[in-house]
């Protein structure tokens, strides 16, 4: 017999929303199981039961925004730390990219519950996603995410000569961090001092630590793509909305 699951967990598994959103909707009476409203937090369901959400929940979800920003150096991804400002402070009507053609109007309320879906170190630049939508956050940073992130990394070799091919192969597969083997990556030379990294995971300072392990020092690091969404021509310090026709996977 299949074990019952917590309703909020099941809703998250089905991609309806995040667990936090599910709990909010359940408390508001916006969730039905097999046609009946379930408003008690912690309620459980069986996998075959049909879960539907009220129109109010769908409408609220549709109003949630996802913002792409070209993070400059010197800003942190999330909460302010060590006197450095978070990237969200760059978002306002004056810094919206003039080429952003989405009809969405900016309103300060969009900054509430706007969280980074993945980190980008303070000394790294490029594509950072901030979202109010729990479904997108789960896609990008959930435990089982397989969405690729692509980086251009300028490096300097600390030993005489050039990085051996065997060490390039190690960067692609074979390194461990914090006692755990890394997933296979795609790492290739773009020119004499720049590597392209494509990863499906995001451990803290992963690329810098991978490079250190083979004697490379990172001089500059820029994220240029997350899944199908590219940084493109978005200028540093400016932002745009995720378009309705864009998807990360």
Question: Distance from CA of residue 183 to its chain's centroid?
Answer: 18
Torsion of CA 42, 48, 53, 58, to 10 degrees: 110
CA gap 58, 151 in Å, rounded: 35
Residue 2 to residue 46: CA distance in whole angstroms: 7
Residues with Cβ within 8 Å of residue 202, at least 6 apart in sequence: 118, 119, 141, 149
| Set 23, 34, 100, 121: catalytic member | 121
Residue with the two structure tokens 């075959």: 48
Give the C-alpha separation, 83 to 6, whole Å. 40
For residues 116 and 80, the answer to whether their CB atoms sit within 8 Å is no
What is d(CA 49, CA 184) in angstroms, rounded to the nearest whole number? Answer: 38
Backbone angles phi, psi at 230, to 5 degrees: -105, 150
Q: Which of 93, 84, 136, 138 is CA-nearest to residue 111?
A: 93
Q: Is 34 a catalytic residue?
A: no
Q: CA 208, CA 155: separation in Å to the nearest integer?
A: 10
Catalytic positions? 121
């Amino acid at each position: 017999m299949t074990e019952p699951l917590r309703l909020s967990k099941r809703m998250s598994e089905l991609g309806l929303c995040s667990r936090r959103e599910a709990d909010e909707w359940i408390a508001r009476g916006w969730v039905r199981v097999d046609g009946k409203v379930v408003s008690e937090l912690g309620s459980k369901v069986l996998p075959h039961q049909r879960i539907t959400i009220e129109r109010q929940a769908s409408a609220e979800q549709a109003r949630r925004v996802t913002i792409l920003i070209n993070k400059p150096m010197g800003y942190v991804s999330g909460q302010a730390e060590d006197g450095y400002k978070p990237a969200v402070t760059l978002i306002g009507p004056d810094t919206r990219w003039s080429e952003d053609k989405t009809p969405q109007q900016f309103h300060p309320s969009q900054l509430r519950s706007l969280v980074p879906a993945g980190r980008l170190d303070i000394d790294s630049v490029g594509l950072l996603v901030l979202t109010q939508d729990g479904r997108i956050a789960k896609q990008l940073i959930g435990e089982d995410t397989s969405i690729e992130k692509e980086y251009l990394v300028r490096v300097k070799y600390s030993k005489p000569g050039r990085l051996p091919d065997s060490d390039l192969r190690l960067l692609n597969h074979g390194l461990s961090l914090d006692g755990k083997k890394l997933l296979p990556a795609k790492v290739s030379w773009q020119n004499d001092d720049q590597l392209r990294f494509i990863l499906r995971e995001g451990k803290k300072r992963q690329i810098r630590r991978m490079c250190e392990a083979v004697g490379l020092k990172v001089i500059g690091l820029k994220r240029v793509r997350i899944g199908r969404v590219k940084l493109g021509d978005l200028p540093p310090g400016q932002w745009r909305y995720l378009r309705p026709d864009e998807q990360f996977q």
